[in-house]
Structure formats: structure tokens, C-alpha cells
Amino acid sequence: MHLNVHATQTETTMAVTLPEAVLARYERFSLYNSPYPAHDGGCAIDLYPGTLADGRTTAAPSPVAGTVRETRTVRAPPKPYAPEHDHLILLEPADTSPFAGLTVRILHVEPAVDAGDRLDRGDSLGRLVRAGFFAPWVDNHLHVGFRSPDQNPYRAAGSLPIDLGAAVRPLEWDGTGRVRSTGDTYAVLDAPTHPDPGATFVGVRADGGGVLDGGVPHYDGGGLLERSESPAADEPTETVVSLNGDRLGVADGRTIAWDDVTVTANGAPITGLSLFCARDGEFGAKLICPERSFARGERIRVRVRSNAAI
């Protein structure tokens, strides 16, 4: 067996690389767009097989080939819109897998598999479910993390950092668009537009380069993926991150600490802006706005203002 892990240039912590063949099985992914502390530092990834905000469920394709080690029911934070339990699936990757020797932990799937079952990559693990780990505007997905043999696979935090083995194309976005679709707690704009749906992953470009990932500012922090250059050993790792001239926060390596900011839509405050990577044609800026409603076709301008200036 072997471990497909490596040391990043900016830290000594070992990281797991997800190859393009794994990511391409899903429509969207995010390393940072989650309230769940297990995502701190990009140490877990959410994989979205499809957009299921209406609560429908679908099969959950396994990201790895291997053997089911264990399934168990776990407690989830109590929320009025979700049950107080979730499900944990532990997988032991096959010897031929790039993840051989690691333990893969998966949440948010009601398992249709049992301990000892052998799976190919893409086989269904069961049925996607919603739990109290979700914010109400989050679509159904698999939460995936990787543990080394000496790590406790049951603890919520402690997974290895994840690197991307697939390119993400940064898309320029001027902060404007028309509302394409809405839900009880969100609105999706028709911009930026994916130039070639299905062919590659895209995300919103930060002013200085890189792809923004995370919920600003409603989650604790975010990520700056696909930075064109890594800082040299004698250079500071911290970088100011902005969007359309509006300062968002400071990135240390790829992890962003948001400033004290407020996102506005047409000048009025909303909860935030959801940023992620996608390859489907429905990609667009997602406004988190349970306090407001927008009409389809309505023209929106999004800005981010500093609360320190108020």
C-alpha cells in the first residue's frame, strides 16, 4: 500500500490531492463554503452531484474505489428544518486507488451499503440527506475527508488538507447580473456565465487573481484557489483579497480570514455571497438573502462594504 500525500510549499502538513477524474464526477465542489469546522484550512471537500435545493434526494456516487469499513449514525446540530442525526461512512480505498492507505470519511449520505461491501468509484453509497450541519440554503452534497492511519477517523476535525488535481478557470465578474432563479433563502444570478459548461470547473476571480471559495461573510473564512504564483520562502504569505475593488479580507496561504464586512444587493444588506467551483451551465453568483426576496429577471448589483467605515 502507498499514501498519495505530499507536503505543500507553504506548510509541513501533509495534503491529499484529488485528481480530475474524481472531481469531474460531480457538478460542483467547495473546500471552504461551509459552516462546519471540519472545513477549516480546506481540510474537507463538499462534492455536489446535482442541484437539489428543493429537498429532493439522489444517488451519492462514491469518490473512491474500495471497501466499506463501517457505517454509523451520528448526532447533528439541532435545526428546525433538519433531523438531529446524520450518517458517517468510512471507506478503505483499494490498493490500486491513489488514496490507498488512507481512510475516507463521508457524511450526509443515508447508506445503502454495509461493512465489507466492495465499491468501484462512482457506485452509489446511498441516498443524499440533509442534516443540521447544513445551512438552509445549501444544496445536497457529500462531505468528504481523508485521514492517515494514525488519525482518529471518528472525530469531526482532523482530516488532511486537500489539494486540487484539476484546474479551475477564474471568471471575471463585475458584481452585476439578473436573477435567474430563487429559493426561500437565496437568489442565483445569470452572471458570471460559464463559457463552456461541462468542460471545466470555473469560479469567481479575485481582483489579484485566484478563485474565491467560501461564504462571505456568513461563514468564518474562505479560500483563494488557483493562485498564479506561490510566495517565495522569504516573502510574506499574507495577501489582501478584494473583489471589484471591495476588500474582502486577508489570505494566509490559500485560507482567507474575512474582514468585518457586509454584502449588499442594490445597496441593501443581505446575509452574504456564496462562492464555489462549478462546471454546470447553471453556474452564477449566489446571493444568500433569507431577509429579502428578489424577482426573476431583476437587475442586481452586488458590493461589499467595510463595517469599519460605518
Domains and CATH numbers, the chain: 16-164 (2.70.70.10), 167-306 (no CATH)
Sign of the CA dihedral 298, 169, 305, 214? positive
Provide the whole-model pTM: 0.91
Q: Which three cell numbers stand for residue 142?
A: 457529500
Residues contacting 52, CB < 8 A, separation 6+: 58, 128, 139, 140
Q: Are 269 and 262 in contact (CB under 8 A)?
A: yes
| Contact (CB, 8 A) for 113 and 66 | no
Is the pLDDT at 12 greater than 90? The verdict is no
Among the listed residues 30, 26, 15, 11, the one whose alpha carbon sits nearest the alpha carbon of residue 147: 15
Instruction: Say what the pLDDT of residue 197 is.
Output: 95
pLDDT band of residue 134 (cuts 50, 70, 90) is confident
For 270-279, write each residue's pLDDT tens digit: 999 999 999 9
